[in-house]
Amino acid sequence: MTTLHDLFDQQGQSPWLDNLRRDWLHDGTMAGLVDQGIRGVTSNPTIFAKAIEGQDTYDEQFSRLIKTKSIEDAYWDMVIDDIDDALGLFRPVYDTSGGGDGFISVEVAPALAHDTDGTIAMARDLHSRIEKPNVLVKIPATAEGVPAIRQMISEGRSINVTLIFSISRYADVIEAYVSGLESLVASGATDLSHVASVASFFISRVDTEVDRRIEEAARTSTGDDGERLLERRGQAAVAQARLAFALFTERFAGPRWEALAAKGARVQRPLWASTSTKNPAYPDLAYVDSLIGPQTVNTMPDGTIADFLDHGTVARTVDTGGDAAEHLIAELAAVGIDMEEVAQTLEAEGVASFAKSFDELMQSLSDKANALAGGS
């Protein structure tokens, strides 16, 4: 037994891995992580770019695929093969948990972040190509992504909602999930237990942006105000996540939700993403130890998992502190730091970062294809 097992058994939080590599699927590394207590995997375009560019394990398949397919189609074939292998490895977790864990996430193309119809079409395509009960298709929580999320849930498809940075957008995501389930019932469904969803709230990037704004505000403050403000660095991300958990607790209760739960509906669990610390001055587990609670997921990169296995603390923390989270957000607002503006900045950066990774990978694969053609 490890601290990862304790995290789930004692506190009801599922530890997932935020990484997917083909060599780990084949050399036993991923199976070893499952044995240590990892219960699911998330991926994104940046993760696949690093995996494909960083190893030669894709070369033989890529060489074969580009004889009959475009570069992008070859990419998606390689991605789906990795997802399929991971789904098989985690299927026992899915089965023994009664469909509660064992999920593998694959994201729609980043170019579709602001294209509702395109996102719907690609999410359907990924679900139909993979056809495994433990796959989650990732859709970003942009304004255009939210109606696509609702549509997919109304069709009984399981979704990982990604790139959530604000409480207001999180509220929209919850509504999309609940109303999507209600639409599924209206279409004749009587058993909702096969529909799963997580809402991925990004954490560390919030502190990176808020800290920058705090430092700017402190420079124009007088007296001790600036020093007091600087003491608030590194606190906004956890505070906002705790408010998100409070909203989750509120929305997944009461008559409206109970009517769906009676038909087997599962709550849409909050998932804490981007939980490695970006600021080396902060504790390495600042975004893990501080957000432990039931019916949640923490998806961690492998380095953070190693840290938690070594010195993580298993204790409920996600709803501690009383009104401190609300007070902190109000204090930041009083000096002109608007969390909605922070979220807009981070969403735009997140979408752009994934698109950049995808475009750079397509160029790298194109270069490789040209080199292979020249060599032949």
Active site residue 263: no
Cα distances (angstroms) measured from residue 242 to each of 117, 319, 350: 33, 6, 22
Distance CA(164)–CA(200), nearest Å, equals 6
Q: Out of 67, 132, 138, 263, pick the active-site residue.
A: 138
**Through-space distance between the first and last CA atoms of the chain, rounded to whole angstroms:** 52
Cα within 13 Å of Cα(61), Cβ side: 16
Burial class, 353, CB count within 10 angstroms (exposed 0-12 / middle 13-18 / buried 19+): middle
Distance in angstroms (rounded) separating the CA atoms of residues 349 and 355: 10
Which 3-state string (H, E, C) describes 158-208?
CEEEEEECCHHHHHHHHHHHHHHHHHHHHCCCCCCCCCCEEEEEECHHHHH
The CA distance from 173 to 164, in Å, is 9
Which positions are annotated as active-site residues? 138
